[in-house]
A and B are shown apart, each in its own frame.
Chain A
Amino acid sequence: MIKLFLSLEWKSFLRSASFGKSLGIKIFMGFLSLYFIGVFLIMGIALYPGLKKAFPDNDPLLIVNSIIFYWILADLVLRFFFQKLPVMSVKPLLILPIKRRNVVNFVLGKSALSFFNFLPLFAIFPFGITLILKDYPTGSVLVWMLALILVTLIINFLNFILESFSAETELSFLPIILLTGGLYALNHFNIISFNEIIGQGFNAIYQSPMLVLVLVLLLLVMYWFNSKLLKQKLFLDSGLKTIVKEVNASNLEWTKNFGDIAPFMKLDLKLIWRNKRTKSSVWMLVIGLLYGLFFYPQPVYQNMPWFFVFIGVFSTGIFLINFGQFIPAWDSGYYKLLMSQNIKYEQYLKSKFTLMALSVVILFVLGIPYVFFGWKILLAHFAAAIYNVGVNTHVILYGGSFNRKKIDLSQKAAFNYQGTGAVQWLIGIPLLILPMGIFALFYFLIGFEIACLIMAVLGVIGIVFHQKLMKSITTKYLESKYKMIDAFDQNN
């Protein structure tokens, strides 16, 4: 039975949509995981010497023990948002002659193989080995490492219990925030000193290894409780049910002001607001808006005015980039409908253009407080905003006509690279690098003001030729019509 499950799991891994993705994404995801692994490895290796240097009088092991509490809290919060119990995948198993108990064990066992559980190992092992090399008693250190691994697994299962209880509430993330926040506060204000209690617990395990059995017992309890919860949930009308949210319909009457593109504007606004993936591009606005704060407070950047325009293009254009790069893939699910309807392609594209242009204006206005860091920044942002409206919107719409990747809107948002192809990586060059290049060139040749002026002029030229540009972009889309319909029909 286990062999069967394992082969099933292996196939689902090899044949999964994320594995079959294009090379670029594979490499990117590979780098991302390598990066995290690297960070943890370095942490594990550098922890002992680092702590020894910083606190020569204290035992690094004891220091590490005393901060385990914070790790547990952070891990819980992270997992809550990113790790879900893979229950949906067992639906086909339910009607096969497999005992429910085995299905439950399969799901829970599978969750133990999560990347979240492997990551800490990359820190635990180097640190433990360092301890052994520094003549700590080998047996005790090994037990201590085992204890940490057990804690990782306990967090793993505790998270699922928390998730299953908070899933029913409206604001599902509130309980976890209250719980971890509460624990942190109790600890911070020394009402109950959890970090000391847990630290002492680990010290105790280190001194008398038999105590690790407490953790084993705790893990077993967690596992048992999870399997009990899951068993009740493995029915189509409980845990396997897809959640249906009630709709808050709004008729968006104000879009009428945009004339003939109003139906598409309405559709686009609903698209953005009612799908997880698109909604996340709205939250990106906040990041884009605050992006400048990473740079401008640092004096280094104050002397690099050619860099302002890059931040300007990025922070006023974040929605443009995020939303625009997947035009028309956002509509891939019903592209056939649009193509067989009585629509003017130009109106369809113009609606997207209007949204992007509006977002640039709004983001620029919201970014005006950056003037606090100098008027040059505001000027650069202004030039960048005009450039975004006049040039980048058209560039990204043109790039969209090369889009051949479907996006399934019902999929989750975070770490979802569906629909990402070579176009999305290449389009960054004309969008961000080109304006910075042009600006830098004129900045070094002539001066800051002229460089700003040139950017603005380029933008104005784009706006003046808007109609013409849209015409040629529309032709481009019409040419690729059949290819797009075909590509959006495939499940990539």
Chain B
Amino acid sequence: MITTSNLSKKYGGNQVLNIQSLEIPKGQSFGLVGNNGAGKTTYFSLLLDLIQPTTGHIQSNNIQVNKSEDWKPFTAAFIDESFLIGYLTAEEYFYFIGELRGQNKADVDKLVAQFEDFFHGEILGQKKFLRDLSKGNQKKAGIVAALIGNPEVIILDEPFANLDPTTQIRLKGIIKDLAEKQGVTVLISSHDLMHVTDVCERIVVLEKGEVVKDLKTSEATLKELEAHFSN
């Protein structure tokens, strides 16, 4: 589904990302871990064509993302708060994203209704602008908005940060469900090794922009990751 080849990104003389080759098959739940500055967000930004690669390219469904925009209809993402429109209410935001993705109000309502317990009564019908919600609630709205319109690729940057324990557990359920039952390719990054090993079939460790580990998740993975990061 997503093929990365010869990809690198430099700022000045400073190399922040260098991935020779990385193949993510359809329906895989893919986890990216690494310390701050390892290149996780850079990789996601390249994947969304928000920045230009210095060399190489990424192909999503055989579409080169920095050449054509045809990957947009089947790709959704929530990277940070800058993906929210602060002066809309959560509902209005969902409808807006829905309209961009060719979903009518009823479609959106139906989808959003599935996440009622994920929202925990703090998102819908609040009469509050998104900018006035807490960080955690903003994140919930952003994540659910990324699920609107049946995307085939979903990219979530640190989805577990700022969420309360209950919501973290529910989110894990949602992500697993997407990859296993619906065949959606889910890419997440996280600083929480436990969550990421729980959710992802495959975990890639980035360090200074390079892939240093590529693991198929098993019971030993968490130990291995912990050992890696304690050095």
Pair A336/B83 contact, Cβ less than 8 Å:
yes
Pair A337/B83 contact, Cβ less than 8 Å:
yes
Determine whether A485 belongs to the interface, using a CB cutoff of 8 Å to chain B. yes
A contact residues around B77 at 8 Å (CB): 340
Q: Mark B76-91, 1 if CB is under 8 A from A, else 0.
A: 0101001111111101
Pair A341/B100 contact, Cβ less than 8 Å:
yes
A contact residues around B49 at 8 Å (CB): 339-340
Q: Among A337, A342, A409, A486, which residue has its beta carbon within 8 angstroms of that of B87?
A: A409
A489 to B82, CA, bound (A): 9
Determine whether B174 belongs to the interface, using a CB cutoff of 8 Å to chain A. no
Q: Among A246, A271, A485, which residue has its beta carbon within 8 angstroms of that of B51?
A: A485
Q: Among A249, A262, A334, A486, which residue has its beta carbon within 8 angstroms of that of B85?
A: A334
Pair A336/B82 contact, Cβ less than 8 Å:
yes
Pair B129/A247 contact, Cβ less than 8 Å:
yes
Pair A244/B128 contact, Cβ less than 8 Å:
yes
B contact residues around A242 at 8 Å (CB): 132
B contact residues around A340 at 8 Å (CB): 48-50, 72, 75, 77, 83
**Which of chain A's residues 445-490 have a Cβ closer than 8 Å to chain B?**
482, 485-486, 489
A270 to B99, CA, bound (A): 16
Query: Which residue of chain A has its CB nearest to the CB of B83?
Result: A337
**Which of chain B's residues 91-110 have a Cβ closer than 8 Å to chain A?**
91-92, 96-97, 99-102
A contact residues around B101 at 8 Å (CB): 341-342
B contact residues around A333 at 8 Å (CB): 82, 85-86
Pair B92/A249 contact, Cβ less than 8 Å:
yes
A270 to B129, CA, bound (A): 11
Pair B85/A274 contact, Cβ less than 8 Å:
no
A contact residues around B84 at 8 Å (CB): 334, 337
How many of A's residues come within 8 Å of B, CB to CB?
Answer: 30
**Which of chain B's residues 34-85 have a Cβ closer than 8 Å to chain A?**
48-52, 72-73, 75, 77, 79, 82-85
Q: Among A262, A270, A335, which residue has its beta carbon within 8 angstroms of that of B88?
A: A270
If A263-B96, A342-B100 touch, whether A337 touches B89 (CB-CB below 8 Å) is: no
Give the Cβ gap from B104 to chain A, nearest Cβ, in Å: 12
Query: Which residue of chain A has its CB nearest to the CB of B142?
Result: A337
Determine whether B127 belongs to the interface, using a CB cutoff of 8 Å to chain A. yes
B contact residues around A238 at 8 Å (CB): none
Pair A271/B87 contact, Cβ less than 8 Å:
yes
B contact residues around A274 at 8 Å (CB): 87, 129
How many of B's residues come within 8 Å of A, CB to CB?
Answer: 32
Pair B85/A337 contact, Cβ less than 8 Å:
yes
Determine whether A343 belongs to the interface, using a CB cutoff of 8 Å to chain B. yes
B contact residues around A266 at 8 Å (CB): 96
| Main SS at interface, chain A | helix
Q: Among B48, B51, B131, which residue has its beta carbon within 8 angstroms of that of A410?
A: B131
Query: Which residue of chain B has its CB nearest to the CB of A342?
Result: B72
B contact residues around A489 at 8 Å (CB): 82
Give the Cβ gap from B64 to chain A, nearest Cβ, in Å: 16
Pair A341/B72 contact, Cβ less than 8 Å:
yes
Q: Among A246, A271, A339, A410, which residue has its beta carbon within 8 angstroms of that of B127?
A: A246
A337 to B72, CA, bound (A): 11
Pair A249/B86 contact, Cβ less than 8 Å:
no
If A334-B82, A485-B51 touch, whether A249 touches B89 (CB-CB below 8 Å) is: yes
A339 to B128, CA, bound (A): 25
Chain B CB within 10 A, most for which of A342, A409, A485: A342
Give the Cβ gap from B51 to chain A, nearest Cβ, in Å: 6
A100 to B73, CA, bound (A): 55
Pair A482/B51 contact, Cβ less than 8 Å:
yes
A contact residues around B89 at 8 Å (CB): 247, 249
Determine whether A195 belongs to the interface, using a CB cutoff of 8 Å to chain B. no
Q: Mark A194-216, 1 if CB is under 8 A from B, else 0.
A: 00000000000000000000000
**Which of chain A's residues 224-244 have a Cβ closer than 8 Å to chain B?**
242, 244
If A249-B92, A333-B82 touch, whether A482 touches B52 (CB-CB below 8 Å) is: yes
Pair A270/B92 contact, Cβ less than 8 Å:
yes
Give the Cβ gap from B100 to chain A, nearest Cβ, in Å: 5
B contact residues around A244 at 8 Å (CB): 128, 132
Query: Which residue of chain B has its CB nearest to the CB of A482?
Result: B52
Q: Mark A268-309, 1 if CB is under 8 A from B, else 0.
A: 001100110000000000000000000000000000000000
Give the Cβ gap from B217 to chain A, nearest Cβ, in Å: 28
A contact residues around B96 at 8 Å (CB): 263, 266-267
Give the Cβ gap from A268 to chain B, nearest Cβ, in Å: 11
B contact residues around A342 at 8 Å (CB): 72-73, 100-102, 149
**Which of chain B's residues 203-223 have a Cβ closer than 8 Å to chain A?**
none
Q: Among A247, A249, A271, A341, which residue has its beta carbon within 8 angstroms of that of B97?
A: A341
Query: Which residue of chain B has its CB nearest to the CB of A485?
Result: B50
A262 to B98, CA, bound (A): 13
A contact residues around B48 at 8 Å (CB): 336, 339-340
B contact residues around A485 at 8 Å (CB): 50-51
Chain A CB within 10 A, most for which of B48, B49, B88: B88
**Which of chain A's residues 328-353 have a Cβ closer than 8 Å to chain B?**
333-337, 339-343
Query: Which residue of chain A has its CB nearest to the CB of B91?
Result: A249
Query: Which residue of chain B has its CB nearest to the CB of A242?
Result: B132
Query: Which residue of chain A has its CB nearest to the CB of B77?
Result: A340
Give the Cβ gap from B122 to chain A, nearest Cβ, in Å: 14
Listed by A's residue number, 16 A-B pairs whose Cβ atoms lie within 8 Å are: A244-B128, A244-B132, A245-B132, A247-B129, A267-B85, A270-B88, A274-B129, A275-B87, A334-B83, A334-B86, A337-B83, A339-B48, A340-B72, A409-B87, A410-B86, A485-B50
7 more contacts with CB within 8 A, not counting A270-B87, A334-B82, A409-B86, are A267-B96, A339-B49, A339-B50, A341-B101, A482-B50, A482-B51, A489-B82
